[in-house]
A and B are shown apart, each in its own frame.
Chain A
Amino acid sequence: MDGSAVTPIDAKSITGKYPEITRRSQLLVVGAGPAGIAAALEGARLGLQVTLVDENPVPGEMMGLDVPQFYGQCMTGAVQNPGRMVEQILATSPGLEAAFDAGVEVLLGTSVWGAFVNGPAVQSLPGRVAGLADQSQSWLCGFDALVLATGARDLVLSFAGIERPGVIGANAFHALVARYDAFKGRRLVILGSDTLAIETAFLALDHGIEVAALVEVRGEPQGSPAAVAAIEARGVAILTRHVIVEATGTLEGVDAAVVVALDAGGGARPEGRRVIACDTICLAIGLVPTVELADVLGCQLAARADRGGHVATRDASGQSSVAGVFAVGDCAGPAPDAAAAGAAAARAAAHWLGVAVPDEPPSPTPDPGNSDTFAYRMDWMRALTATGSPRVLACLCEEVTRADLLGVKPPRYLDCTSPQMVARDARSLLADGPLNHDQFKRLTRASMGPCQARRCREQVAMLLALASDVPVEAVPLAGYRAPVRPLPLSLLATTGESPAMTAGWDVWFGIPGQWTPYADIGTEREVLDDDGSGDSMHL
């Protein structure tokens, strides 16, 4: 091309349409747990301008959707009082005050619904940006470096009655009890017996909540011998080789957990059925690293049994495959010293940004983790499917049962009974290629609901893995998409747009002539068919 030629810009393309970003942060830290607070403090100490964002207190309405944890409607009315909730958070997060004092911009009650960097299929962003929202406003915040300290979320495995109020996840239980003082149950059955389950039992007992039993599918309690002895010394029984088959009760809530003993073949022993009265059943089988933002950013993820799920692949400083984006704390897997990892990531971020970082201590040694987590969860899933009905829900939002999922059944509202459809099942898809969760999703609607698959992503993958006899880590992750929190249209609508976006908006490409009636192409009528607006007439 002639050097003097200027390339025009397609007025309907995205080029130049994003507004200039006015709110910026050199170091944006998502999550104000121990790792995030330490990252923010270290960043501030190194002279970076730091913003620390945390979605807590989570609005009561969001909790009602089981987002971000599996709260199971176990909240008291106290969660509806934002002022009290903020006080509770400040009282239970000692590092936050130091962060305020260090000049960190601390945004509580603020979720990060997306984070975006330019890459192979996106070059249009006005730099690196995150989408933030509190309850009244959504906005874009530019960032240079990003530390994801987003924690972990509850692993949900289903059984009959899972949808009843009173079935809760361990993380949600910890949040409602220890953080918000807003838990309404009194008597608990805990599923699982490893460290998480035993810590959950201690927390309950210390807050005057009865623990009726721990239920464990394996033959031995999974926690350390000392922890197991300690909880048994408090009078808590651990029922090994047992599995839950039902949460009984009413629409109002759970009144009992029905558990059965497992026989040598993994089936239920009819005489081993027990009904344990309780108002809450706590799933403490495992936690899943929260990698929504990492996935949205395009960070490379890998399924890691020793990390409890998919995590961002990282270098020694915690940096992901996207330069300047770090993952630390529980979102990267079990961390013995989350604070040290957070601080190390902040130093690496500062270094990446060109700040001279003095006396760099060595990065903390990563926790070897427990490489047994996937096998343990699969033991649970095998026991649950061996003793439970195919009518148990695999996806709560869309009411997709295990049988619907594995039968690749269209949703009931389609009322499709054609013989061809009836003859199809999971084998049809597997015959044409390797197992893909997203393919089942689009046909059955499992994992397509308002909880954004938080309650089913893992169990759907596990059910598919069991049915097709592939290791669960071979099932591709059902991807996360922005917004990673279910936020109202009216709230996201306040994100703001530039005048150029408003002026150049078109329903489709805005290519002149794309909607010209065929008969008019090449005739004198051709020009008349465009209504003169230059806009697409997409129907």
Chain B
Amino acid sequence: MTSNRGAAVVIVGGGVSGLSAAWWLARSGYDVLVLDKGIVGWEASGRNGGGATHYQSPLFHEEQRLWPQMDALLGYPTEYRRERIIINLTPAQQARTRHMATVCRDLGYPSVELDNGQLRTLVPLAGDDALGATHFQFGGHANPQRTVQAYAWALQDHGGRVMQHCPVTGFVTAGGRVTAVETRAGRYGCDALVIAAGPQTGVLLRQLGITLPLAAARAEMIVTEPLPLMQHGGVDGNGLYGRQTLRGNLAYGGGPHEWLDENDGTEIARPSTPLLGSLSRRLAALFPKAAHARVIRSWAGIIENTPDGRPVIDRLGDPDNVVVCTMSSVGFGLSPATGHAIHDLVLDGTCSFANIDKLSLRRFDGLPADWRQRRGWVPPLAVADPVGSAVDRR
């Protein structure tokens, strides 16, 4: 096995969480190396709604503190924009949004209710029959594709390295520590290891004898042609998440996900499906004044969830120099804070700015092996192809 120049910290997975961790460590002066099986941010990290408003997370305050500074800190544009507005078309939607507003207010983050007239002033694409909206005066959204590259370049500017197209094949352990990572391009020695490899995190950890329960699924989004820019880009609702980009495109997703079998990282196509019809329907209802807008793309991404839908950010006990991270399908917006937390766990074993004990891996001890089947988190049974099905009608 070829031996390459290792690093103090090797990070497996060049998604937002891994890249942010590498950036945090690099700017603290540590020698970091990010290994990615493909191109940085090529998976769900670069294909998502871009939301940055995660009130449920222990990292929320840090997320809110960091985003407004990220362009300056990174030195590259993330397209971050402040604030969120959720439009309510039905009483049920309104009740849910108001509940969310209450939860956020309890955490110290303000919001105001908008009636239809106020809504249409702020959001010209909204319709005459919307019940109103809640304007969350915090949070925001950014451009995932730009942000992942910004992290990668910024960490390089601090002396860190990124190796793309370098899938990890195994680990070398000695004395209760991981001492090197094996890849198709050879071996990289390390003092500490971070595994933040999205859906593949569980497969990789298994090689260390660690069980991380994860299930991957495919979800879809659509994008329209550019429309005149609204004052606030972060407007969603009606079962959709997303934003108007600074270019003016509407980029929105939502709706049912498709559970997938475990994949070891082998490249598979990520097709979108006719779901784009249902997404279009909801987007046209959310923004009736944009119903004429043409859909120019759709895309699908693959994201992983833990059984309770919450992240695992944890430093393992054995081997004791490994930090593991999965954000359980909600990782992009939190990434500035996630990287900070991983940085702390790598260096000190504990998060300096928030208590994240409830995100430990130990909570899944004793989970039955067939938990996915029990939850119904399994792929659909495919319809058979029509081979030999034709009736000869001559």
Which chain A residues border B329 with CB–CB below 8 Å?
508-509, 514
From A118, A483, A537, contact of B383 by CB (8 A): A118
The 0/1 profile, CB within 8 Å of A marked 1, for residues 104-126 of chain B is 00110000000000000000000
* Given A433-B164, A434-B165, A509-B305, A14 contacting B257 (CB threshold 8 A): yes
CB–CB A507/B241 < 8 A = yes
Does B257 contact A414, Cβ atoms closer than 8 Å? no
The reply to whether B271 and A119 contact each other, CB–CB distance below 8 Å, is yes
Contact B302 A355 (CB under 8 A): no
- B292-A496 in contact (CB<8A): no
CB–CB A495/B241 < 8 A? no
Assuming the A-B contacts A442-B145, A509-B305, are A7 and B378 also in contact, with contact meaning beta carbons closer than 8 angstroms in the complex?
Answer: yes
Q: Nearest Cβ distance between residue A517 and chain B, in whole angstroms?
A: 6
A424 to B95, CA, bound (A): 48
Cβ contact of A323, chosen from B39, B375, B385, cutoff 8 A: B385
Instruction: Kindly supply a per-residue 1/0 record for chain B positions 209-228, scoring 1 wherever the CB is within 8 Å of any chain A CB and 0 otherwise.
Output: 00000000110000011100
Residues of chain B lying within 8 A (CB to CB) of residue A220: none
Q: Does B380 contact A16, Cβ atoms closer than 8 Å?
A: yes
Report which of B107, B149, B256, B382 forms a contact with A13, defined as CB distance below 8 A: B256
Query: Is B358 interfacial (CB-CB < 8 Å)?
Result: yes
- Bound state CA distance, A443 and B75, in angstroms? 15
Within 8 A of A (CB), among B298-319: 298-300, 302, 305, 308-310
Is A487 among interface residues, defined by CB-CB distance under 8 A?
yes
Interface residue from B149, B305, B381 paired with A511 (Cβ < 8 Å): B305
- Of the candidate stretches A193-201, A330-338, A346-354, the one touching chain B is A346-354
A492 and B295 within 8 A (CB): yes
> Mask for A385-397, Cβ within 8 A of B = 1, else 0?
0000000000000
Query: Contact between A518 and B387 (Cβ–Cβ < 8 Å)?
Result: no
Contact B387 A131 (CB under 8 A): no
Q: How far is the CA of A124 from the CA of B273 in the complex (A)?
A: 9
Q: Are A489 and B162 in contact (CB under 8 A)?
A: no
Known: A432-B164, A522-B358. A47 touches B256 (CB 8 A): no
Residues of A within 8 A of B283 (CB): 489
* Minimum C-beta distance from B217 to chain A (A): 7
Q: Which residues of B contact A424 (CB under 8 A)?
A: 153
Q: Nearest chain-B residue to A417 (Cβ)? A: B77
Contact across chains for B308 and A513 when beta carbons are under 8 A apart: yes
Say whether A324 contacts B309, CB under 8 Å.
no
Q: Which residue of A lies closest to B373 (CB)?
A: A7
Say whether B296 contacts A452, CB under 8 Å: yes
**Chain B nearest Cβ from A51, distance in angstroms:** 14
Instruction: Tell whether, in the assembled complex, residue A7 and residue B383 are in contact, meaning their CB atoms are under 8 Å apart.
Output: no
Bound-complex Cα distance A535 to B256 (A): 12
How many whole Å from A239's CB to the nearest CB in chain B?
A: 38
Q: Which residues of B in the span 191-243 have a Cβ within 8 Å of any Cβ on A?
A: 217-218, 224-226, 239-241
**In the complex, A432 Cα to B160 Cα: how many Å?**
12
Q: Is the CB of A505 within 8 A of B256?
A: yes
Contact A419-B75, Cβ < 8 Å, known A352-B387, A535-B96: yes
Q: Is the interface of A mostly helix, strand, loop or mixed?
A: loop
Is B136 in the interface zone, CB < 8 Å from A? yes
The answer to whether the Cβ of B259 comes within 8 Å of any Cβ in the partner chain is yes
Residues from chain A with Cβ under 8 Å of B145 in the complex: 442-443
Known contacts A122-B218, A450-B225; decide if A46 and B394 are in contact (CB<8 Å): yes
- Count how many chain B residues have C-beta atoms less than 8 Å from C-beta atoms of the other chain: 114
Residue pair B378, A521 in contact (C-beta under 8 Å): no
- Min C-beta distance of B38 to chain A, whole Å: 9
The residue of chain B having its C-beta at the shortest distance from the C-beta of A420 within the complex is B75
Which of B58, B239, B274, B378 counts the most chain A CB atoms within 10 A? Answer: B274
Residues of B within 8 A of A9 (CB): 376
Q: Which residues of A contact B298 (CB under 8 A)?
A: 481-483
Taking a contact as CB atoms under 8 Å apart, the answer to whether B257 and A13 are in contact is yes
Does residue A256 face the partner (Cβ distance < 8 Å to B)? no
**A117 to B145 alpha-carbon distance, docked (Å):** 28
B296 x A486 contact (CB < 8 A): yes
Q: Is there an interface contact between A354 and B57, defined as CB atoms closer than 8 Å?
A: no
Q: In the complex the two chains form, what is the Cα distance from A486 to B297 in whole Å?
A: 8
A120 and B96: CB pair below 8 A? Answer: no
Report the Cα distance A443→B256, complex, angstroms: 29
Interface centre among A10, A15, A121, A490 (most CB of B within 10 A): A121
A367 touches B (CB below 8 Å): no
Are B164 and A511 in contact, CB atoms less than 8 angstroms apart? Answer: no
Q: 18 extra interchain contacts, Cβ-Cβ under 8 A, other than A26-B390, A128-B386, A324-B385?
A: A1-B370, A123-B258, A128-B385, A131-B277, A324-B387, A414-B79, A432-B40, A450-B225, A450-B226, A483-B296, A489-B291, A492-B280, A493-B280, A494-B277, A507-B239, A537-B100, A539-B54, A539-B84
Q: Residues of B at under 8 Å CB distance from A? A: 39-40, 46, 51, 53-58, 60, 71, 74-77, 79, 84, 86, 92, 95-96, 99-100, 103, 106-107, 136, 139, 145-146, 149, 152-154, 157, 162, 164-165, 217-218, 224-226, 239-241, 246-247, 254-260, 268-278, 280-285, 290-300, 302, 305, 308-310, 328-330, 358, 370, 373-383, 385-390, 392-394
List 10 contacting pairs A-B, 8 Å CB cutoff, sorted by A.
Answer: A120-B269, A140-B277, A354-B388, A356-B392, A488-B292, A489-B281, A493-B291, A501-B255, A508-B254, A509-B309
